[in-house]
Amino acid sequence: MRYFEAETAILLHHLAIKFSGGLKGVPNIGYLESALQQIKNDDIIGINFQSKHTEEKYDFNY
């Protein structure tokens, strides 16, 4: 599985809000980095892709 870093997530966020609107910036980059790091940890999330995808959606929405 391929993962990306916080800088890439921020770039994707900026591109998304460019087309859909929203606030620019990241209030706390530590939260973003933590969520991206947890996605990489199969011991916490499990190896099952569906579980990992569900966890990703939860982390980024809360």
pLDDT score for 33: 93
Q: What is the DSSP string of the chain?
A: -----HHHHHHHHHHHHHHH----S-S-HHHHHHHHHHHH-HHHH-S-HHHHHHHHHHHHH-
pLDDT greater at residue 14 or residue 43? 14
Q: What percentage of the chain exceeds 70 in pLDDT?
A: 65
- Provide the whole-model pTM: 0.61
Q: pLDDT of 23-49, one tens digit each?
A: 888 889 999 999 888 888 766 655 555
pLDDT score for 62: 47
pLDDT score for 61: 52
CA 24 to CA 10: how far, in whole Å? 9
